[in-house]
Amino acid sequence: FSASGAAAFSLSSVALCLLILFGESRLRGGANYTRISSGARRGAFRYDLGRWAPVVVLGFAVLVAVSVGIPVGTLVYWFTQGSGSALSAASAGIGYLGPAALTSVLLGIAAALLAVVLALPVAVLAVRYRGRFSTLVERSVYLSFALPDLVAAVALAYAASHLVHVLSGSVALLVLAEALLFVPFAVVALRSTLGLIEPVLEDSARSLGLGPFETLWRVTLPLLRPGLAAAGVLVFAFALGDLSTAQVLLPPSLYTLGTQFWADSKTVAYAAAAPYGAVLIVLALASTYLLMSRFGRVRTDSAEG
């Protein structure tokens, strides 16, 4: 492990992230997406693609086939065409599947909850209290995603072993690391949802005598539930499949779906790895479906008259 090489790579990633953040800030400017007039909320318009419809459908079909079909097809092949070096399901330690799935789910939920808690004040500060300080805080959060997972995990492990010994080698450190790595996704989800909530509702609550925290609890958070759910599911999905951070910070007595999948794959025990990969895909698809079915429905109005 080359510390200087890792530092140089990390600094280049941070520099690229700063450039992207600067461009995003210039493009967005001071745009506000809340309604400024009364009336019914407009639904999304449905556009007729005409002759381009088959091309668009084909493009999305190819995208789904590549992103979903190839991984699923590979897992099915591993299940049914295991070679001599690929263990059967009976001899592959299939008993580890349940504990690994439970550990992955619990770690994902814990990381998602912590990331949402950390992202909420950042999103509120960025949307409701715009200024140089809020912009600096928001951009600083986004910079964490520019760091390679492995470098961030090693840095946290080093800091914990030298500064906070009680966290060294603990599950809490892994949860903290995953929450910090994926909190930018939570900030984006909460920021976009909070930007659609009319500030006049919060102003009215404060004019009726509610304090800032009571307004947040009784007015803002109920309206922010779709964003909270989206942020939680995003972080859960990324934490579920996390490998680099788990390999560095996961206690030796525990194992996740990702670590078991990698351990079997690198020894060419593909039939042993297939169940772990299948459960990962099922959990990721289930969480995505839950989010879309609960909060992803958008009312559409036809473009006709």
Q: To the nearest 10°, the Cα dihedral for 201, 205, 211, 213?
A: -40
> Tokens in use for 22?
């600067």
Predicted confidence at residue 90, as pLDDT, reads: 41
CB–CB of 46/302 below 8 Å? yes
Render pLDDT for 62-79 as a digit per residue (tens, 0 to 9).
998 888 888 888 888 887
Overall pTM > 0.75: yes
> Tokens in use for 107?
């770690």
Tell me: pLDDT of 175 over 90.
yes
The helix (H) or strand (E) run that includes residue 300 is strand 300-302
CB–CB of 255/103 below 8 Å? yes
Strand partners, 46: 302
Strand partners, 45: 301
Tell me: pLDDT of 1 over 70.
no
Query: Once rounded to an integer, what is the mean pLDDT over residues 178-200?
Result: 88
- Residue ranges of the domains in the chain? 109-254
Q: Which fold has domain 109-254?
A: MetI-like fold (1.10.3720)
Q: Using the 8-state DSSP alphabet, how is residue 46 labeled?
A: E
Among 114, 61, 109, CA closest to 287: 109
Render pLDDT for 232-286 as a digit per residue (tens, 0 to 9).
998 998 898 888 888 888 988 888 998 888 888 888 788 888 888 889 988 988 8
More confident residue, 47 or 106: 106
CB–CB of 19/146 below 8 Å? no
